């Protein structure tokens, strides 16, 4: 079954992935099993894992928690929100027995390492999980852009987009259209020209230019992160 072989991956988790059913905040009962799965994957498979975590469960600047606020200020708040998620995830991963480093794109030395590309790669080579926090450090971007940028920088073999409430990419919204068709495979151009909801256009273009495959799959089924990382053909692959 294993048609894709990934040695180093970026796992993109939205902030929502750490929240409970209410979609807000950090729920330890959600984070713990998630961390256990990622830790086991790291220890058992030897796949190098870097995680980009979002912040939408705490604050979303880009699409506006903050109507009327200065856009850049709201975005900086969003980036800081991702750091809180990263620390929660680090704590849970270390409880699950795997060494973890958080690197932030906005310096906060007392809390985490600054993002240093070569150092991140070294951590990965040593089997540590690296969590990239504070997005790209720039307003007007998203954590999807961060995933694409970091994947290019560390030469990841793929970005795994673990989704809540979606098991792949469809031609229309399966929640409103019962006849929506799921794609097994797409090209970057399909995603851009059809405006399919995989990641934003900036991120998709970055992946296209750097030949980074994107696997979109559901994280609502336990074990799916492991399946996607081991190359099982689940969800939708964009390449």
**Residues at the site binding ligand UDP, with contacts judged by CB under 6 A:** 14-16, 54-56, 60-62, 75, 78-79, 81-82, 135-136, 138-139, 141-143, 145-146
End-to-end CA distance of the chain: 19
- β partners of residue 8: 48
Q: C-beta of 202: minimal distance to ligand UDP in Å?
A: 10
Q: C-beta of 66: minimal distance to ligand UDP in Å?
A: 9
Which residue number, 18 or 39, has a Cβ lying nearer to ligand UDP?
18
Which residue number, 45 or 210, has a Cβ lying nearer to ligand UDP?
210
> Token digits for 79?
């980036």
Q: Are 112 and 104 in contact (CB under 8 A)?
A: yes
Q: How many CB atoms lie within 10 A of CB 59?
A: 19
Q: C-beta of 62: minimal distance to ligand UDP in Å?
A: 3
- Interatomic CA distance for residues 83 and 5, integer angstroms: 30
Which residue number, 135 or 168, has a Cβ lying nearer to ligand UDP?
135
Short-list 49, 228, 195, CA closest to 204: 195
Q: C-beta of 214: minimal distance to ligand UDP in Å?
A: 14
Which residue number, 128 or 150, has a Cβ lying nearer to ligand UDP?
150
């Amino acid at each position: 079954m294993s048609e894709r072989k990934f040695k180093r991956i970026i796992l993109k988790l939205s902030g929502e992935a750490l929240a409970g059913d209410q979609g807000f905040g950090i729920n330890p009962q959600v984070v713990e099993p998630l961390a256990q799965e990622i830790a086991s994957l790291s220890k058992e498979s030897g796949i190098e894992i870097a995680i980009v975590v979002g912040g939408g469960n705490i604050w979303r600047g880009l699409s506006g928690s903050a109507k009327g606020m200065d856009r850049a200020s709201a975005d900086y708040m969003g980036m800081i929100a991702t750091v809180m998620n990263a620390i929660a995830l680090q704590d849970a991963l270390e409880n699950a027995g795997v060494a973890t480093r958080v690197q932030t794109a906005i310096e906060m030395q007392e809390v985490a390492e600054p993002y240093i590309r070569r150092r991140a790669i070294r951590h990965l080579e040593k089997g540590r999980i690296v969590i990239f926090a504070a997005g790209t450090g720039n307003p007007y971007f998203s954590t999807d852009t961060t995933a694409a940028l970091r994947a290019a920088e560390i030469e990841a073999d793929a970005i795994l987009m673990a989704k809540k409430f979606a098991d792949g990419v469809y031609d229309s919204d399966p929640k409103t259209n019962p006849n929506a068709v799921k794609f097994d495979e797409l090209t970057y151009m399909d995603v851009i020209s059809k405006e399919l909801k995989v990641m934003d256009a900036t991120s998709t273009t970055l992946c296209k230019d750097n030949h980074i495959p994107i696997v979109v799959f559901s994280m609502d089924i336990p074990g799916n992160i492991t399946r996607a990382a081991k190359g099982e053909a689940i969800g939708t692959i964009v390449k």
